[in-house]
Amino acid sequence: MIIALAAVLQLAMQPAPAQAVYHGRDGNLDVAVPRLQSDIVVDGSLDEAPWREAALLTGFSQYNPVDGLAAEDSTEVFVWYTEHEIYFGVRAYEPHGSVRASLADRDRLDSDDYISLMIDTFDQRRQAIWFLLNPLGVQGDGVYTETGRGSSEDLSPDYVFESKGRVTDYGYELEVRIPFKSLNYPSRKVQDWGLQVIRRVQHSGQDQSWTPLRRGQTSFLGQAGRLKDLSNLRRGLVMDINPVTTARYDGARIGAGEDGRFRYGNPEPEFGLNLRWGITTDLTMNATVNPDFSQVETDAGQINFDPRQSLYFAEKRPFFLDNIQQFTVPNRLIYTRRIADPIGAAKFTGSIGGATIGFMSAVDAEELSRSGDDTPVFNILRVRRNVGEQSSIGVLYTDRIDGDDYNRVAGIDGRLVLASQYTLAFQAAGSFWRTGDTQRRKPLWNLSFDRSGRRFNLLASVNAIHDDFVAGAGFVNRRGIINTNIRPRFTFYGDADSRVQAYTFGLTFDNTWDYQEFEDGAGPDDIKFHINNEWRLRGGWNLGADAYIETFRYPAAYYANYRVVTTNLEGAVDTVQFEGRRRIPNYDIMLRANTPQWSRFSGNVFFVVGRDENFEEWAPGYIVIADVGATWRPDDKARITFDYIEQRTIRPEVTLRDGTTKDPSVVRLSRIPRLKLEYQISRPFFIRLVGQYVADQRDALADYERNGGDPILIYNPADGSYWNGAFESGDFRGDILLSYQPSPGTVIFAGYGSSATDQGAFAFKRIQRNADGFFVKLSYLFRL
């Protein structure tokens, strides 16, 4: 007994084994993560025993706005794992300023301090799952993907994981538990995962990284560290069953004017089901029946300056956002919003035989078919395979079948990285479509070269899209063009304590040809030369000032239905085809500014003014474009966001046919104010109110450029009518949403949305409600 007691005392007196420390600036980037048989309560306090055995990551560096410097703030990250989950702990010291933390909604952490955990479970240095945590443990998540021209940062996907944080007298602490059920990873007993940790410090406007990231490298993820020799990971059966019940009570005005009556339909409940099955650790199936997207916020209004281009609205619907990164393709040849009202859909995403794959099939509602009797069917396939350390190649196939009509798109694309600084990207695709008796086979192709460097960058690209290239499951904002773009950029860095942390000077040479005329040797339609300046200031300010010198050629096809009412020499009135001047030169100045994320306020300004084309009448004019945004956070739970967009096209002073002078006048004025109020009652309880007013007005059109102010009429070939182009409208949209969402998939939503029409733009007279709707949604995530 005496001998045994002595042995016990001797062991007790021995010091505990030293904690393994991995110092980023010293290059200790391969982390041996301890596997422990422990369980802890995630409460935001790193006082449990496993944290003293965890691997410790420290030695952070500054990455933005200036790289290569030691971080001004000390950060410690702890990591360990069990057979079913991986744990991260963060101890962030903040001696220089206050910690920014609010009870924000999920993914709305842009105004807070936060930690980013970027986990590349396949260790391929192309894509990482992205977990973000603010000091209170509020979650953000998504996917970071490296593309042919930089990166894609998508915060739309939602993963199930647990986090808690607390602000301390020295900074803040975080605890994070990520179950392996929420991840895809290789089916191997022993594996390595890529890891990058980024800390955002709002009071200084700095991003600090565990590994010493260098600006100008082609790959961001290629500079990450590694979690080594993770073994015998077990996630068990991955089966998420998510039943959904919704009820809508929609109303609409029947009849016009004040005599119109408002009627509501029957509020019959609808039932839907979402299913997620982890077939293997790296292959997942998702399916949905009668999906409902009632919680989606109304798209923010946009103003289209160039009528030759279509406006893009991002996907927001949960089913299509899940693993959307697997369907990323250049030129947006996959755009799931084309599936407008799906009856049902299924998709497979993951890895097979060393390649990443995404396959989706969906059936749309009958009313979206050309005949009204068929159900359009979509099939989308995207496959990519890695080549070498950083390169990749991919193929694409989509089809939309609508009765006897179809659209099929097939393509190949690649990204070749050379010497860690040079990237060559390419794409070639063909569109094969039939509508009625018309059939076409037309191409799209592009090629780009990117030289990345800390001080000098160069991007050169050419993109070509045939007039008849149709992407039935994609989005092409302008067809029938060939565009070339060359952008050299030079960056100069200040000292660590300089007011100007970085200054970038760049030039842009951009030419756009008509696709059909390019082979005939015709000159470009649009010629653009831009001088770009950007300053990043200490504290988080970003300023920019650009000069635009451009010339646009007359796009005759756009004005094919324009007519001019003119008087000939004999005094006879005649209607003739409108013909605009061949070219219009532009000279514009663009200014922009983004404030730091202060504790209660942040703002941004975008302003363009100059001599530009008057697209309404194809004549020289002046433009003023303003986009102003501000966010006020009166406390840790409330957020008030205001955005205002205005676009003004002005006719210059002109001389009329009778010799009189017409003062400058506004030909087109568009204004969109938008106000959003958000209040986070607690982490799961949230309320949101959104109001938006879209005011648009245009003067009667006239040909001041060629015919002394003769009226322009727009001809409608469908009924032979003419219109002088004048209009004025004011449309209001309001939405309110109450939500309870303790975890992704388990939700209670209740909301109301209403749209109304004003008598004119900001007239605020006889505002008439046109449509509204109440909705309730209940869903619960069963995780087997």
The tens digit of pLDDT for each residue in 408-446 reads 999 999 999 888 789 999 999 999 999 988 999 999 999
- What residue ranges do the domains of the chain occupy? 16-231, 237-270+731-784
Please give the Cα distance from 283 to 10 (Å, whole number): 52
Q: Which DSSP letter does residue 17 get?
A: P
- pLDDT tens, position by position, 617-632: 999 999 999 999 999 9
Could you tell me the pLDDT band of residue 359, with boundaries at 50, 70 and 90?
Answer: very high
pLDDT surpassing 80 at residue 306: no
pLDDT in tens, 96-133: 878 999 988 888 888 899 999 999 999 988 889 999 99
Rounded mean pLDDT of the chain?
89
Query: How far is the first Cα of the chain from the last one, in angstroms, to the nearest whole number?
Result: 51
Q: Which CATH class is domain 16-231?
A: mainly beta
pLDDT over 60 at 15, yes or no: no
Q: What value does the mean pLDDT take over residues 84-106?
A: 91
The reported pLDDT for the residue numbered 418 is 86
- Cβ pair 360, 370 in contact under 8 A: no
Provide the b/e sequence for 648-678 (b: ≥16 CB within 10 Å).
bbbbeebeeeeeeeeeeeebbbbbbbbebeb
Q: Hunting for tokens 């395979």 — which residue is that?
A: 385
Residue 10 predicted with pLDDT over 70: no
| pLDDT tens, position by position, 651-698 | 998 877 777 888 889 999 999 999 999 999 998 999 999 999 999 999
Name the percent of the chain lying above pLDDT 90. 60
What is the DSSP pairing of strand 239-254 with strand 782-783?
antiparallel
Residues 71-105, buried b or exposed e (16+ Cβ, 10 A)? bebbbbbbbbbbeebbbbbbbbebeeeebbbbbbb
Model pLDDT, residue 257: 53
Is 7 in a helix, a strand, or coil? helix
Ramachandran class of 473: left when φ > 0, alpha when ψ lies in -120 to 50, beta otherwise: alpha
Mark 557-572 as b/e (b = at least 16 C-beta within 10 Å): eebeebbbbbeeeeee
Give the pTM.
0.85
3-class secondary-structure state, position 261: strand
SS3 at position 336: helix
Phi and psi, residue 528, nearest 5°:
-130, 135
Tokens of 554: 């007359």
Comparing C-alpha atoms, which of 553, 620, 576 is closest to residue 712? 576
d(CA 331, CA 127): 19
Q: Are 438 and 418 a contacting pair, CB within 8 Å?
A: no
- Reply yes or no on whether the pLDDT at 371 is more than 90: no
pLDDT of 178 higher than 90: yes
Given a cut of 50, whether residue 175 has pLDDT beyond it is: yes
CA distance 426 to 423: 10
For residue 389, name the pLDDT band (cuts at 50, 70, 90): confident
Backbone angles phi, psi at 725, to 5 degrees: 90, -10
**pLDDT reported for residue 267:** 79
- pLDDT for 721 equals 92
Q: Is the pLDDT of residue 55 over 90?
A: yes
- CA 115/CA 195 separation, integer angstroms: 13
Rounded CA separation 275/637 (Å): 33
Q: What's the pLDDT at 572?
A: 64
Helices H, strands E: what count in the chain? 4, 49
Peptide bond into 307 cis (omega under 30): no
Among 151-155, 310-314, 711-715, the range of highest mean pLDDT = 711-715
The per-residue pLDDT for 187 is 87
For range 373-393, the mean pLDDT: 91
Alpha helices (H) in 640-681, listed in sequence order: none
pLDDT tier at 11, thresholds 50, 70, 90:
very low
Residue 405's nearest CA partner among 455, 370, 443 is 370
Q: For position 2, what pLDDT does the model report?
A: 55
Q: Which has the closest alpha carbon to 330: 440, 463, 422?
A: 463
In the three-class reduction of DSSP (H, G, I as helix; E, B as strand; rest coil), residue 43 is classed as coil
Q: What is the pLDDT, as a whole number, of residue 460?
A: 96
Mean pLDDT of all residues in 209-236: 90
Of 277-291, 581-595, 643-657, the range with the highest mean pLDDT is 581-595
